[in-house]
Amino acid sequence: MRPESADQAFLWDMLDAARAVRSFIEGKRFSDYEQNRMLRGAVERHVEIIGEAAGKVSKVFRERHPGIPWHPIISQRHVLAHEYGEIEHALLWKVATERIPELIACLEPLVSTEES
């Protein structure tokens, strides 16, 4: 069940989307990603969701958790939403394969702490 507080709801959205990205790319290589438009679209959309939710997390919460790279996450969302013709697939693959697992590790304790 989704948490009640606004920040917790946004964190839950971020975690859910990050886990989805992780599942989409599981067992895939960059060449698979490059050649599969549906996979690219799914990853792009969920990274966009992560950035949108991150932008809605309160400033107070973000300041209390500086280990999460809030600004780059939100900036990535802006690129995907507004500069979609400029997407560098190699960079987005790096986000999906390196940054998403790190983000999941940061978010899981925050979401589960508040849910319990």
Selecting among 40, 46, 77, 99, the annotated active-site residue is 77
Res. 3 pLDDT band, cuts 50 70 90: very low
Identify the pLDDT of residue 113.
55
Selecting among 64, 82, 89, 99, the annotated active-site residue is 82
Mean pLDDT of 74-95: 87
Residue 82 annotated in active site:
yes
Percent over 90 (pLDDT), the chain = 79
Mean pLDDT of 69-87: 86
pLDDT, one tens digit per residue, over 47-56 is 999 999 999 9
Domain map (residue ranges) of the chain: 6-111
How far apart (Å, rounded) are the C-alpha atoms in residues 101 and 104?
5
For residue 53, give every residue at least 6 positions away whose Cβ sits within 8 Å of its Cβ, in sequence order, or none.
10, 11, 13, 14, 17
Identify the pLDDT of residue 103.
98
